[in-house]
Each structure stands twice: as structure tokens, then as C-alpha cells.
Chains A and B, each alone.
Chain A
Amino acid sequence: MDWATQAASVLQAAVVLLLAPLLAGIAARAKAWTESRRGPSIFQPYRDLAKYLKKETLLPRGASRVFVVAPFVAFGTYLLIAIVVPIITPYPIPFAPTVDFLGGGLLFGLAGIVTLLAAIDSGSNYSALGASRTVSFAALAEPTLIVVFFAVAVISGTNSPYVTNNLLTASTAAYLSPTHLLVTAAFFLLLLAETGKLPVESAGLMEFGMIEDGRIFEHSGRLLGLFRWNGWMKQFLLCSVFVNVFALPWGMIATPTLWGAAANIVLLLAKLGLLVAILVVVEATVAKVRLFKIRDFLALSFSLAVLAVFAFAVLGVP
């Protein structure tokens, strides 16, 4: 392990940690713009976070230690993901070999289940409702994620996001292969669902439509702040993986130098900006589907992912 890649790991974790709220801020601002509002500053999430961390933390009666520990475990999990996937580093960094795509998926699952446990532990009906909704949709979303990773694995013949990234950059044929296009589409739909975007979930104070946010109803103060931060990091990570591995794998500088890293950060922000623009357009044009129809939406995503693997099998080429 040379120091340059170690430094790159640390830098990458810092980028995820620090830029995740910014992404959320930009998205909120852009969405407000489509609704003819001025909207909050793009730095509003940072201010929210500072406020949450200063506030008093209240625990529901009967809540156990799980309630308190869960946000920290989830936070740590997302940080771990941040140092194993290619976000600003198209070259393997020291921890990358510890998990492959599937491992990444499992880590996302771990963070989700911990949050879920905290929600159930709170003893509140609203939180439990959020938890049950999350689980019922996760029943379709989680297999989709895993099938998506299988599909990626068949494209590159490995399970490593780094190899996939390099392959897609190098080969137009691989990029335009049905498997890749389908898996990208499936992952995009999954992204909408997992980050609470519109056809699935409308962000705001509508309890009826809440899915993921329902789980953290009972948390307050610092714990709530951590959960919010977790949510932003999850969104940042998923979006980064989407742009860097699936949709726009090009252009990253493959040498671990300071300037390379800086250029990659700028490039990443540009790609994420593009993705945010697309997401905003999606949110502005589609209506929220009924809660029971979300299953159909996820089934579509799952079908596309299965089809991606299937297309590989049928066509014999990625």
C-alpha cells in the first residue's frame, strides 16, 4: 500500500462526507426552481445539520440501546462504502478488495436494516408503519439490487466495480450492449425508489406518502442529524455509483495524484449536476403513483434487471 492511494481513500471518504449535503442542497434548489420558487440556499443542509447537532436529544420511553446506536452504525457503514467504491478513484484503493459489488449491496442492506431496527425499537406506530412499508418495498428492491450486480458481473466477468468501470470506458460495444443499457435503466429506477424521488415518494411533510422518512419519526437532535446525514450520503453514494459505473463511466484520471483527485472531484460534481438535472426533470414531469402501485414500479425495475442478465444469456455477448 503506497501512501498516495491511502490518501486518496481518505480524500474520497471526506468527499462523500462533506459533499453529500451539498448534493441534497443543489437538488432541493433545482427542484424549487422548477416549481417557480426561489428555494433554500444550496448550503441549507449544512445549516440544518449544524442545528440538529446542537439540539437536545429525546428518547422515547422504553427505547433500548439500539435506538441510540443505530444511527452511528449506519453512519459507519456508509463511510465504509465510501472507501470501497470508485467515486473519485478509478484505480483500486487499499480497502477496495474487501468488498465487491455484492458486498456493497449488502452494506447498503445493513445500514437499512439497522435503521429499521431503530424504528421498531422506538415503539411508535408511525415509525413502525414506515418500517413495514420500507420492508414491503425492499422485498422487491433488494433482489433488484442484487440482480443488477449480477448483470454488471456478467458484463465484465468480474465482480469489481473498478474492472467494470475500466471495461465500459474502453469498449463502446460493451457500453451499448443490451445488458448494460438494461441494467442502467433498472438501476436508475431503483435509484428513484431508494432516494425517495417522485414516482415513488414525494419528499415533504406528507406522512401518508412517507416511506423511508417514516422510520426516523421518533429520532431527534443529534441522532436525527446523523440519520439525515446518512440519507444524504446514501443518495450521494448511489448517485456516484450510477454515474461513475453505469451511466457515464468516462473521463476519470487514473493516476493517484493530488491534481488528478481534484480533477476527478470536479468531474464528479459535473456528472452529478447532470444527474440532478435529469432527476429534477423526472420529478417535475411524473406524478406520484399510489402506494400500492409502487410495487408495480419496483417490479418493472426488477424485470429490467432480470432481463439484463437474460439478454446476456440469450445473445451470448455482453
Chain B
Amino acid sequence: MSAPDPTFWLFLLLAAPAAAALLALVPYSRVSQLASRTGAILSFGATLGLLVSRTSGVFGSYLGVDALSEVFLFMVTGIYGTSVWYSAGYLRDVHRPFLTPQVYYALLNAFAFAMIATLVVTDLGLMWIGVEATTVASALLIVLERRPASVEAAWRYTIVASAGLTIALFALLLLYTTTGTLNAFRLAADPPVPSLAIELAVALAIVGFGTKIGLFPMHTWLPDAHSEAPSPVSAMFSGVLLPTALYALLRVLRVLGTPMPAMISDLLLAFGIATAIVAALLLQRQRSFKRLLAYSSMEVMGLATVGIAIGGIALYGVLVLLVAHAFAKSAAFYSAGNVLRAGGTNRIAEVRDLRHSMPRTSIAWVLAAVAVTGAPPFGTFVGELLIVVAAISIGAIWLAGVLAAAILLAFIGVNFQIGRMVWGERPPGDPTSPPREVPEWGVAYLNVGVALVVGVAAIPYLAPALRSAAALLGGSLP
């Protein structure tokens, strides 16, 4: 049997979630669940197909993939799949008007479709539409929770994100006016003559897409949206939505060629450092565990931005960090979702002694928390180490120090809080009954496992893709 054509994989990649989104609207919740699961499996399979065939190139006038998109596709379809699986339990306990499984699955599939579409198009304008579409789908997922806080969070999210994306669109207009094309692949292969206009366009794009990435000070929507979204959606937010926006930014940055002009890398560096530091400080005083995890994601995005600014070996580190973080953070959110469902609260102070009440979930949670904060031997550790080493290798010892401080702060903050919830004693005389274990604890282990394997072993096909993606971005390899 001959290997299928790469366009077949691309078609499957896009068609599976789209069809699932439509099929999910059939008024039988079993059908929507089945359709979503099938869609997720098929799209993940298509990603594997692309990875295995090492497809790289442009197909038709709008579609194109290379190693970079495949790495991101791996994350997106992977988290999409696990989130769909995890959603069954979430939906079982939720009874809200209009939030039927049909609507929920349709929006979830649409959300995934928007992210996948962002990753396989060549045109920056279409990429922009994809990122914007994620806002629509995900905001609706948040607002359907129909609590005052979630409505307000959805509102802030849409307002801030779309304002940022307006700036990004302005940047694309500027870019198009200067270069005459928005085809990211063509621009990357044949970078236009550097000019102030292009640098300005990229700077505006950093601000614009940076809003969606969660860069300080445009991050204000991020903790609200993460904490108020349904937990499977929070996992997709943290794990893959932020990286998808980062992917769009990476594509724009490619216009500059390598190395980046000093102005742009300084700008990225400033945003990245500020984001990492602010997030590491803010997560110390969070009272809700989902917000805690949200700030941790923001810190990782800050580190990734710094890594992009440094370039070289750090780019490889960024990709490893993002992949490992996506899986680890989604595992953390699945566990957090279990705790939220079982205990009915997202207050850190009200959750204690999970070790006894929810043993399986709590172990997964601790593992995930350790993984997202960059402990060895998880992939996040490798990524963060590479970024810090790259900072030292370009002679910026202060930068390495600042990054290490942010990483350490976040590590202590997250793990201390989660440790308190797992090992802390319940106050004597607490009348409430302890939460009971929920059946959906397995997905978290699966994802933590992926984060671990990324760190310790070279996954066949993924590892080469990571390397060539880093090379594509102009990075050197370890």
C-alpha cells in the first residue's frame, strides 16, 4: 500500500473537526460525543501521518505545512483529543440551560478547528482569521457557563483579545502595504529588504498577537478566561491556544529573516522578561487554583518569548518547552477540573487533604504541577534549561539570573499551593464531607507521561520534527 498523499492528511486534519462540529449538533448526545471523539482521533492520526511522512511544502493557494506547523499540530490535536475524552465527565455533572452536550461539543470542535486551521494555512491574513475564530468559539464556551463571573470573564476576554487582534490586523495591513504579499511561506523563503516599515509592522504584531499569547501588560484577560472556562477548555487554552497565537507571531517574525533586528529582539525580550516576572509574582497570591495555573502558563509564555528573542539554541528549547508544557499543563487542568467537580470550589483555602480523599487525582496533579514548573526530568526542564543556557552563551548572565529567579519563584509558588491542597490537614470539625474521587483521572496521567517522555527520550518522528522546526526558525541545535 502506498503512503497517502500529504494533501489527504491535510484534508483529514481540517475535515475531521469540522465534520465533528457539525455532527455534534445532532440531537443525540451520544452521537455528538462519538463524532467528537472520532474527529479528534482522526485529526491526531492525520497529524501523525504528516509527521511520519515529514511533509513540508505548500499545497494549493492557501494550505501549507512544515516541521514547525507539525510540532504545533502535534500539541493541538493531542490536547484536543484528551480534552474531548475528558469532557464526558465534565458534562455529566453540568446541568445548565443551553449548555447541552451538543452545543458544547460543537463549540469545542469548532475551537479545535480554528486552531488547526491557523496552523496549516500559508496566508498571514487567514492565520489572523484563525486566531480570531478561536476567540469567538472559546468565548462562547466560557459564556455558556452562565454565571456572573464567567460572563464577565468572557466579556473581558473578547474585548481585550479582539482589541489586540485589531492591532495585529493593522500590523498585517502595514506588512502587506510594504511587501505586497501576506504569504508567510513565500515571505520566509525570500525575506523582503529590511526596512523600518517592516520592523514597525512586526512590532505591532508582537503587541497584537502578544495580547492573545498573554504577554504583560496585555494579559488581563488570561487568568479570568482560564479560571472561568470549563476545565477541558481551560486545558486547551493554556496548553495550545496560547502557543497557537505564539505560532502566528513566529510566522510573522520569520519575515525579518535571521538574525532579528535588535529593536525587535529587544522588544520581545522586554515583553518576555516582564511577563515571566509579573506572572511569577502574581501567582504567589492567588486564591483560586485555576487562576494559579493560568499565571503559571503566562510565566511559561514569557519564558518562551525570551527564548525566541535570544534565538540560537534557545529556539529548540522553546519548542520543547511548549510541547512538554502543553501536555503537562493540560494534565494539571484535568486534575484541577476533577477537584473542582468533586469539591465544588476553586478556592485553594477550601481544598485540603486530597491525598486521602482523591488519591489518584492528587498524585497526577502533583506530578503535573511539578512538570509545568520545570522540574527534571520533564520536557519543560529541558526547554527551560536550554533557554537559560542560551542566555548565558550570549553573555547575558543577568538575563539567565532573572529567568532562573522567575522559574524558581513560579516553582515554589505553584507547588507550595498545590502541596497544601494535597497534603494539608483538613481543619478539625469541618462539617463538609470530603470530596470523592471521580473516574476521569486517567487522562492526566497520560498527558504527564507525554511531558515526561519528551524530556527523557527522543520520540520517533517528533524529535526530528522539533529539530528541523528549530532549524527552520534559524536556531542552532544542541
A and B touch in the complex (CB under 8 A): no
**A interface residues, Cβ below 8 angstroms from B:** none
**B interface residues, Cβ below 8 angstroms from A:** none
